[in-house]
Each structure stands twice: as C-alpha cells, then as structure tokens.
Structure 1
Amino acid sequence: MGEWIDISQPLNNDLAHWPGDQAFNYQTPLTKDQTGSVNIGRVTTSAHVGTHADAPYHFQKDGKKILDLEIDRYIGPCRVVDLQMFNRIDANALKSKVTAYTERLLIRTSLPNDPKRFPEDVTPITADGARYMQTLGVQVVGVDTPSVDPITSKELVGHHALFEHDINILENVMLDHVDEGMYELIALPLPLQDADGSLVRAVIKPMKGANDHAK
C-alpha cells in the first residue's frame, strides 16, 4: 500500500500494434564506442501503440489535438472497476459498480493483458455507457484494451459518444494486477503539438482509507 503502481505497457520491440500501423522500434544507432562519450537511442513508433491517449483529432477531421487537451484531467483521484463479466461497457454494466461522482474511471475488462498479442476483439463502450459516465462527472476513461470500440469498427460509436459527452480516452492501461478501488492517477500525454494521440506513462497510487468504498 502507498506505492505507485505502473499500469503502462512496457515499450519494447515485441510490443503488439494495430495491423498496418507503425510498430514500436528502439535502436541505438550511435554507441558510446562510436561517439566516445554517450549512447544515443532512436525511437520509431505510432502515437497509438502501448498505453496511450486519444485526441479527438484521431477520429474527427477538425478535432482537438493532444496539446489542446486539458492536462489536469490526467492527474487526480480515479476509480478502478472490474467489468470483466460484461461483454460491453454500457450503462447497465457501469451501474453495477459505479454510482458515485467519479472524474477519472479505469475499467478492467475480460481481455488478458498480453502486450505481445494484438486482440481480435475487445469489450466496447456503448453510447448509453458514455452518457451514463457523464452523469457521474467522468472526464477521463481508461480501458485495458487498444480501443474503446470493436477492432473492426469504422463507425467508432464509443469514441464519438465519449467525445460528445466531453470524456477523454486512455487505452491499453494494464489492470490485471490492480484491485478495485480509489487511487491517485498520473497519466500524462507527451506535448505533441499536432498529434492525434500520445504515448503515456500511467501510474496509480492507492488512496489511503478510500478502498473500502468502491461505489
């Protein structure tokens, strides 16, 4: 208790990525032996690999970009809930676990956290689920899947519904090792001015005395 818990997917060259997208790749093209002083690494990556934040520009032509988003949304108290018994994150599923005011919500689904394997399908967030989150005051929702919509979806109902209800999106948070309850969250996107998304280092810390009241 009391220590920060890393809920980010480790970034390495074995990390799964969206089919057809840029995989994460780290190399050290300049070594200390070559430069005489330092190793210099190089990263090639998609903005949507590993644990990451979506900006509205990801799914809207004129949407806000990462640097336009309110940074304080990604820092503060959050609630972790386990909804792995449901096949979609709708209002009914959420009401079974969350009834109190909640600004930041992290959701564990039935998908095992396996960073090396890209899933065939995920548990989606529905339009009425997004609507119910807004009634709770949710400003950021995080899921342990690479998308809040089905993998093959083109309509992206969940993404658009969350945007309509002013809820920011975190994807690929790792929650298999996390108990339900209240935590402090830090999940800062990088200051990528024109980006539609950003890699995130997400960590949580149990809130003292709060985890007996998960609802």
Structure 2
Amino acid sequence: MKKVISYPIAKESPGWPGNPTYQAEQVTDIQKGDSANTFMIHLFNHFGTHMDAPLHFNPKGTAVKDLPIEEFLYENPLLVDIPKGAGEKIYTEDLRPYEQEIKGRDLLMIRTGFSRVRAENPQVYAQNGPALCSDAAKYLMENYADQLKAVALDFISLASYSDCVDGDLSHQYLCGKFHPGHICIIEDVNMEGLSQEQLVYAEALPLFLEGVDSSPVTMWVKLQTDHQDGRQ
C-alpha cells in the first residue's frame, strides 16, 4: 500500500510567521469561453511540506535541483517516536536510545505528535513548534552524515520561531556548513497513522527549479500490510 504523507498545498495552511504562502490565479477559464483552464501559481518555496537542500543555510551547499536523484529515494527509512509539545526541543539524549537503529538507515523520520496541532491551532503550530536543537543536529552530522540522506519532521520547521538563533545553527549543521557532507531536512510531514513495522520505502520528490535553494516536495511511503510483502 502507498500513502501520501505530504500535506496538500492550501492558502490557509500554516506557514513560518511573516513568510509568503500560496496563491493560485486563474489565467484562462473554460467557463468564460477559453478552450482550457490554466493557472498562475505563486508559491513560497519553504511553504507546506518541503525539503531544505544544503544551499538553504550553506552558501557553498548544493541547490535542490542539483542533488542526485538518489537523495530523494529512501530504501531503508526509520520512524521514531519522540513526543514533544509546543516549544520543546529534541536533544541528543532523545536520539541516543535509537543510535543502533539509526545505523544503516537512509531516512530518519521523527514523529513528535505535534502534527495534531496543525489543524487544531494553526497559529501555535506555526509560531511555537518543537525543534531539533543544534547539539542534536551536530550529533547526527558527526555520526550519521555518511548514511542519512534526510531527516523528516512532523512539525513546521527544524527550528522553532521561539528560538531562531539555535534553529539557524541546527540548519547550518545539517546543511553541511561545518562538516563534510549534509543531511537534507524535510519539514511539515504528516506521519499520523504510520508504524515502523509497516514502513518499507519512502520518496520525497521536489520541483527541480532553477535559481532557488529548496523546494516543496510530494512525499509518499510504501507500507507493508498483512496481505503484502515488502516487494509489492
């Protein structure tokens, strides 16, 4: 079974405070006599489910369109539950219990449970989400940068708006500013209803846009069910 875990892009979806969001402007309209419907899309590239490529916080980093296709394909994903509430941080100590499980994985999916706030209170989701602290980002880079292609999060950003200084540093670590290599960041992912026991495969497919650092992604997972094996 396949399941989309990126959110639909909608104007009313929560975004990072102060940033643009999304608008769709109809250019031609069948109802007005045109032969086809077409639209102009105005979309901030860090809105909705999106991938932070290395260039986002590393001036020498790679733009999303220049990453090899393999960086968007995850054959050995790991989903871990680290419950966190508004403004709470994920520390290295939260990751250490999973250090053996993370070894050999190419995607780390961190589920805090905060995604439920996205619909209940979008303002809190945007302004006071959890965060991966810079020490934890450094830990991942120092121990897993040679294997992890990406970290996916069920909250709006690696950083919390309530502590942008540490959040910037976390981004810099994973974007490879201080270490060889990088770990891409996939933010605002819907992990509700997933289980590690069923998780077989994942993809996060971006728009390959010229002249930008990062991109929205469509992310989906393959799940093994009672009637399927991992090859289906």
Q: TM-score range by the shorter chain?
A: 0.7 to 0.9
From 161, 173, 192, the equivalent of 2:189 is 173
1:82 has 2:81 as partner: yes
1:107 has 2:124 as partner: no
1:27-176 matches, cutoff 5 A: 27-77=25-75, 78-84=77-83, 87-100=88-101, 101-113=104-116, 114=118, 116-117=122-123, 118-125=126-133, 126-131=136-141, 134=144, 137-151=147-161, 152-155=163-166, 156-162=168-174, 163=176, 164=179, 166-176=182-192
Deviation of 1:136 after TM superposition, in Å, equals: 7.9
Uncovered stretches (5+) of structure 2, i.e. residues with no partner: none
Aligned to 1:11: 9
Uncovered stretches (5+) of structure 1, i.e. residues with no partner: 211-215
Aligned to 1:192: 209
- With normalisation by structure 1, the TM-score equals 0.84
Deviation of 1:92 after TM superposition, in Å, equals: 2.5
CA distance in 1, matches of 2:38, 2:25: 9
Deviation of 1:14 after TM superposition, in Å, equals: 0.9
Pairwise CA RMSD = 2.4
Deviation of 1:183 after TM superposition, in Å, equals: 2.5
1:109 and 1:123 in contact (8 A); partners too: no
Deviation of 1:95 after TM superposition, in Å, equals: 2.7
Which stretch of structure 1 is more off in the superposition, 81-90 or 103-112? 81-90
Structure 1 runs (4+) deviating above 4 angstroms are 207-210
The one-letter code matched in structure 2 to 1:94 is: L
2:15 and 2:21 in contact (8 A); partners too: yes
Which stretch of structure 1 is more off in the superposition, 110-119 or 188-197? 110-119
CA distance in 1, matches of 2:205, 2:138: 27
Q: Secondary structure at the match of 1:153?
A: helix
Deviation of 1:132 after TM superposition, in Å, equals: 5.9
Q: CA-to-partner distance for each residue in 1:8-35, whole Å, 9 max, x for gaps?
A: 1111121111222111112323211235
Deviation of 1:89 after TM superposition, in Å, equals: 2.9
- When the two structures are aligned, how many residues end up with a matched partner? 208
CA distance in 2, matches of 1:154, 1:95: 24
Distance 1:58 1:35, change over 3 A: farther
Q: CA-to-partner distance for each residue in 1:104-153, whole Å, 9 max, x for gaps?
A: 11111141341644241323242344246517821211111222123241
Aligned to 2:19: 21
Distance 1:54 1:35, change over 3 A: farther
Deviation of 1:62 after TM superposition, in Å, equals: 3.5
- With normalisation by structure 2, the TM-score equals 0.79
